[in-house]
Chain A
Amino acid sequence: MEKFILKYFNLIRTIIAILIGVAISIFIIFFVSKNALGSLKYFFLGPFLSKSRLGNIFESATPILFCGIAAAIPFQASQFNIGQEGAFFLSAAIGTGFALSVSSIKLPGFIYVILTLLAAGIVGALWSFIPGFLKAKWKVNIIVSSLMSNYIAYFIGLYIINYHFRDKSAGFLTSYRLPESDWLKQFIPGTRVHIGVLIAIACAFIVYYFLYYTKLGYEIRMVGFNFHFAKYSGIDVFKVIVLSSIIGGFFAGIGGMSEVMGIHRRFLWQISPGYGWDGIVVAIIGKNNPLLIIFVSLFLAYLRTGGQVLNLLSDVPYEIVSVIESVIILLITAEAFLENIKYRITVKEAERKEIIDESSS
């Protein structure tokens, strides 16, 4: 038992953190809701009770997963580039513009879709290059610069849609509709689950391979693990900082465009949708491991869906989800949380081993 706990200590700790977050939410619901048991049922079981809600989990996990792996790559290099929100938004805007501009060429659907996604990915990569480069070249605080880049991207994106691709016949600020050949197909009837979710999962596997089985991925992790060691062992730190930002931004960009092509079929965001921040959350909870991030994204999407059901059918507001999320992040990032238990078990194991060694000698 002790050996098992030590081996899977991180996983157990994460699960305990999640359970505490859930427990706090149950406590809050009992505190504020007039029909607490009903609310609890809506929150935790609601997402599973209909096909469209189940689909909802996968739909909303898709952009979160893209942004999660986008955040994980610079985070692995200990570069706190939090510009995924802006890269997501701007890539979706420019990607939409690109798709509409080339729509007259009548490309075959397959090529059209790939070209659009690639264009958006490149926009995201170029945009994320800025904070990465500023950090590598002049040591500009990457948290601040990437944060500012989010606001700038938001305004540029709005400007592009508003002044160049706005559908004036629509009663609200939105772009023209994408041609049907550029849609990501929704393949489960009765839901809006689209091909994007498969692309996202594939990307997570690719990034996992990239981070753990390629030279550049190793360099990225090494810079994050020990900057000075990496530097003095000859790793080009400048390259790693810039590339980790660029590659991360690429996936944020694809994520933004996949959301447009799969769900809305036009660019209709007037406020930034916040998936970049969700991406940071899932990257942290998933310890920057792309495969874990898949599950964390689904878990977060499940909480969100439950929150929506709760909001709709009970007297508890949706924002309870943010409270749970923040508690979970705080506990997971707190290294000393449960550390004394691990310490005690380690000591006990060592003592037992010593006794065995002594008795055998």
Chain B
Amino acid sequence: MNPVLRSILSTSFLFSIIRVTTPILFPALGVAITALSGSLNIALEGIMLVAAFTGVVVSAFTNNLLLALLFGILSGVGIAALLGYFHLKLKADIIIAGIALNLFASGITVFLLYIFAHDKGVSSSLKSLVFPNVQISLFKKIPILNSTLNGQNILVYVSFLAVIAYYIIIYYTPLGLRIRAVGQNPDAASSVGINVARTKMYALLLSGLFGAFGGLYLSMGYVSWFARDMTAGRGFIAIAASSIGGNLPLGTFLGSLLFGIAYALTNFLASINVPSEIIQSIPYIVTVVVLTIYSAQTSKKKEVGEE
């Protein structure tokens, strides 16, 4: 059998797909919930960066994983709240405000990294903690599941739970119903007494929560340090992943998985003799192609230029 094919079909490849999907899945859920509420949060990149940074710094200085988790989440939700405040209260364009917050996050994390660690690249001089990998005894009995799903970082399982939580929130809670109502027709929602701005704010705060988990996973699970701009566009890819999935729970999960597969393939194909630049561009090309196919199918219903 072809060695490339064999390595692709191996369980370690499946394991790595799950590993690289998680930091896309978390922000994708964050994008999805805001998109359902009728706004688009493109600041997930910044939310993840800030949470990743806060988690590393807090864990290094307090040596307490729970505090790192708490402050990481608070910082991510804080950026989302800032976005909500500027967009909903001060009537800023959400896209421009999102770009500004991404710029802010990129700058402030490097700035503070230099203050705390006297390094502008990575936080390796800080002794930060990581979230543990866990073994789930239930999986041990099932051959393929055991080697692909078992022994992953705990936040990987949290990301699966997050998909379920997202499902429950949007279909089985009053807030979810309001979020969907506001997204579909804000005027109608407002006429039956729903506070549109507040509902959108809640959606943004939840997206901050999801994004914060994604950031924490990046710096305290995927790797064990913070590096400048370590999100590397995942917050943007998340937009593609959730829009492929129609912003619904299962769709968003599958969309993220698609990019996970593309990423993992990139890592595997790099071992054979293809210029690495070409391989590295594959996930981005896939994004454009899939998004085009998806949009071409849905655009028949709408007019060009309508947002």
Contacts and interface: CB of A to CB of B under 8 A. Distances in A.
B296 interface: yes
B281 A151 contact: yes
A32 interface: yes
Given A134-B288, A144-B291, A326 B277 contact: no
A281 B107 CA distance: 14
Nearest to B101: A326
Contacts of A334: 86, 90-92, 97
A144 B291 CA distance: 9
Contacts of A322: 103-104, 106-108, 110-111
Contacts, number: 157
A320 B107 contact: yes
Contacts of B110: 317, 319, 322
Given A326-B103, A330-B86, A158 B295 contact: no
Given A159-B277, A322-B107, A148 B295 contact: no
Contacts of B239: 141, 143-144
A277 interface: yes
Contact of B306 (A82, A227, A238): A227
Interface string B279-307: 01100110110011001101100111110
Identify the interface centre among B92, B96, B100: most chain A CB within 10 Å of its CB: B100
B9 interface: no
Contact of B287 (A143, A144, A320): A144
Interface in B97-135: 97, 99-101, 103-104, 106-108, 110-111, 114-115, 120
Given A152-B281, A163-B275, A322-B106, A136 B304 contact: yes
A145 interface: yes
A253 B53 CA distance: 35
Nearest to A161: B277
B284 A151 contact: yes
Contacts of B187: none
A231 B96 CA distance: 25
A268 to B, nearest CB: 16
Contact of B280 (A139, A155, A335): A155
Contacts of A147: 233, 236
- Size band of the interface chain A makes with B: 35 or more
Interface in A102-149: 130, 134-141, 143-145, 147-149
A337 interface: yes
B120 A317 contact: yes
B282 to A, nearest CB: 9
A227 B96 CA distance: 19
A183 to B, nearest CB: 28
B96 A284 contact: yes
A274 to B, nearest CB: 10
A162 interface: yes
A329 interface: yes
A26 interface: no
A237 B304 contact: yes
Contacts of A158: 277
Given A241-B304, A319-B114, 5 more contacts: A138-B292, A145-B288, A158-B277, A223-B305, A333-B86
